[in-house]
Amino acid sequence: MKLLFLGTGAAGNSKRSEAEITEGSRRCASLLIDDTILVDVSRQSYDYLIKQGKDPSAVTDIFLSHAHGDHFNREVLLSYAAAAKEKLRFWCHRGAVEHLNLTEEDLQVIDLHPLEICDTVETGGVTVTALPANHLVGSFTCAEKPLHYIIEKDGKKIYYGCDGGWYTAIEWEYLRANKVVFDAVILDATVGDDAGNFRIATHNNIAMIQILTLALRQNEMLTENALLIATHFAASCYPKDRSHDEIFAELGMLAAADGRIIEV
């Protein structure tokens, strides 16, 4: 699988347009897989996909992690739908549907697929399983459950874990019970070294990432050459004098960057 990171930043850039993204800053999180599967439809993803020389009409499916404004933008979703060669398939947790504000007209070009926790679907040449993320959308009573995804294609499996801190009990036990083994793991790295950051309950810091990846390895959930990838960085939580590449290379990991392609 070819992973193209269209955005690797946390929520700070959610209201910036493509024109306002300056050199060295990061767009909101979005990932393109093999030019056809998109994870999260952030505000800048459409323009940046074109800037990277990709054809938006090739995107057949979009999977949403959750409906926060840095991961979902209705107007951008409609841009992908307008470009699509066939009706665009859009996947999200069933509780997210009410937050999407899609009209009957929108649903003429968007094939909406609500997901339940632990659902597995086959579409666009991939098999995708929706797992519950340790994250929160809206109020404590909100019906939407943010999602992490297992994405399988051509005998390879990747884990996409943004947003979310740690693993939920359901998520971890699903991986163990099904003896899932990953070729690549993409983890939220929002909080950096700021261990006391207010986002600590719903995002990872570096120490948490070290524990999470150790648990994966000790429980034989990684292939021998599995790639460990950090993304979703909050600029305020990282030092200005060290690059993300340097920081995560010391942990045996790759740091995602806008426009970076990683082959799995």
- pLDDT tens for 208-235 read 999 999 999 999 999 999 999 999 999 8
pLDDT at 14 (0 to 100): 56
Residue 17: what pLDDT?
Answer: 60
Strand partners, 37: 33, 61
| Structure confidence at residue 79 (pLDDT) | 97
Q: What is the pLDDT of residue 136?
A: 86
pTM, to two decimals: 0.95
Looking at residue 143, what is its pLDDT? 87
The pLDDT, as a whole number, for residue 11 is: 77
Separation of alpha carbons 165 and 130, rounded Å: 16
Burial of 222 (C-beta count, 10 Å sphere; 0-12/13-18/19+): buried
Over the chain (264 residues), the average pLDDT of each successive run of 10 is 95 60 80 98 93 97 94 96 97 94 96 98 97 85 90 98 93 97 98 90 94 96 98 91 95 96 98
Each domain of the chain, given as residue ranges in start order, spans 2-257
Amino acid at 115: L
The third-level CATH classification (topology) of the domain covering 2-257 is: Metallo-beta-lactamase; Chain A (3.60.15)
Distances (CA, A) of 200 to 21, 111, 144: 26, 35, 20
Q: Which has the closest alpha carbon to 6: 120, 33, 250, 91?
A: 33
Predicted confidence at residue 22, as pLDDT, reads: 66
What pLDDT does residue 96 have?
94
Q: Which residue has the tokens 């990684």?
A: 222
Q: What is the dihedral of CA 242, 247, 248, 251, to 10 degrees?
A: 170
